[in-house]
Amino acid sequence: MDNYWRFETSAVHAGYNAEDSQRSVAPPIYETAAFAFDDAQHAVDLFDGKKTGLVYSRIANPSVQMLEGRVATLEQGIGAVAMASGQAALSCAFLTIAGAGDNIVAASSLYGTTYNLLGHVLPQYGIEARFAPQHDMAQFRRLIDARTRAVFCETIANPAGSVADLEALAQLAHEAGVPLIVDNTVATPYLCRPFLHGADIVVHSLTKYMGGHGTHLGGAVVDSGRFPWMDHRDKFPRLTAPDDSHHLTNFSEKYGQRAFIARCASVPLRNLGAIMAPATAVAIMQGIETLALRMERICFNAQLIAQFLQQHDAVSWVRYPGLADHADAALVEKYLGGQGAGVLSFGIGGDEKAGHRFQDALRLVRRSVNLGDCKTLACHPASTTHRQLSGDDLVMSGVTTDLIRLSIGIEHIDDLIEDIDRALAASA
């Protein structure tokens, strides 16, 4: 693997060396549950951590390791762990460093299930979530205390479309002695590499743009290797003291820079079992090969559709990071190179039934709650992805009942605009 390759080349080649796999041009699928030991002592040494090697595919699998190498390279991290879904990745990232009595301070503009995980599920196990408006640094600072274990945000909030000030959040988190964890799903490393702006851990739903075809579920946690865990050992005993759950391993002493990602794989993932199938890993690797090409076309289409919607009489407002009048335009330029990715939202005139009529009139655009597909998709978050949230939580996450979310694909722009225009006419 050549760390000096440019992005497009790394997306095709990183993480895989054909010479290691019978010179197969395509990454092979290691479809096996377990691996054989040389002898009895070899098994003991592997389980004691005295030797490295493959034991069981819930712990590590060659196909999955190839994907992890590719994702880590694209994000310019020191290592990655691939998992069964983006939500599994988020859960394992938080559980690697937080436990009962701890808290996570997060931006309030989040994907619905992530908001639910933080606001309702983790608190059942003693991990509190504290939410602050995306750009209210004073509120973030007030919420952080001695039991805070991370600051969390999405690069581009789904579906609100706000863009996080990564450098400001990283500085705030580091002043408090905690890492900044960033969900980079919507932006992808093609548009933004959060580690270059101070983030410490990146999380992905690989189901979305990275896989790109709406066929396989997957997630990943990526470690920058830069957070000084030992400098804050009292906050992070799971990384800096012997771990009762893993042979009394002190992950910082044993793995150094890789302490976080090593514990993420060895403890929460290994014990919760949210592992990725080998065939899924190879399929997502193939999807990543075309990430740059797809994102270029998706950004082009999304920009034109957002501008079209701005001029439409049936649309009351449009939120898309690529628009010149977007509230975070300066941050879009700074972190995303002026491009807005592929998710946009707009307010449809009339009541909620108007939104239903719009969706029902679509012929080309698919009605689906997924995003990041080659196909353009539409959904009504308040009644689907964010349906489990209360009214106050919906307000906090930036979702209103008139909001329609579009995930723009790679179709011809004229066909997309014609379909959306026809559906808007039908919504009146």
Quote the pLDDT of residue 389.
Answer: 62
CB half-sphere exposure, 91, CA atoms < 13 A: 24
- 139-157 pLDDT per residue, tens: 999 999 999 999 999 999 9
Q: Which of 237, 256, 286 lies at the terminal end of a domain, its last residue?
A: 286
**β-pairing, 315-319 with 219-223?**
unpaired
Show which of 286, 305, 340 is a domain's final residue. 286
Give the per-residue pLDDT at 246: 84
CATH number of the domain to which 106 belongs: 3.40.640.10
Alpha helices by DSSP H, listed for 23-157, are 40-48, 62-75, 86-97, 112-116, 137-143
pLDDT in tens, 239-260: 999 998 888 899 999 999 999 9
Do residues 142 and 187 share a domain?
yes
Query: Which pLDDT value is given to residue 48?
Result: 80
* Segments of the chain scoring below 50 in pLDDT: 1
Q: How many domains would you assign to the chain?
A: 2
200 with 258, same domain? yes
pLDDT of residue 385: 64
Q: What is the pTM of this model?
A: 0.94
pLDDT of residue 390: 61
Q: Which domain holds residue 171?
A: 7-30+61-286
Q: Are residues 372 and 265 in the same domain?
A: no
Which of 286, 314, 336 represents a domain boundary (last residue)?
286
Residue 46 inside a domain? The answer is no
Residue 242: per-residue pLDDT: 95
Inside any domain, residue 392: yes
Q: Cβ atoms within 10 A of the Cβ of 232, count?
A: 17
Residue 38 included in any domain: no
One domain, residues 261 and 308: no
Question: Are 117 and 144 part of one and the same domain?
Answer: yes
Look at residue 364 in the predicted model and tell me its pLDDT: 97
Residues 262, 78 contacting (CB under 8 angstroms): no
CB distance 72 to 222 below 8 Å: yes
* Contact (CB, 8 A) for 308 and 295: no
Q: Greatest CA separation found in the chain?
A: 74
Same domain, 256 and 358: no
Same domain flag for 209 and 148:
yes
Task: Give the pLDDT score at 1.
Answer: 44
Residues 149, 247, single domain; the answer is yes
pLDDT of residue 198: 98
427 to 46, 63, 315: CA distances (angstroms): 62, 47, 10
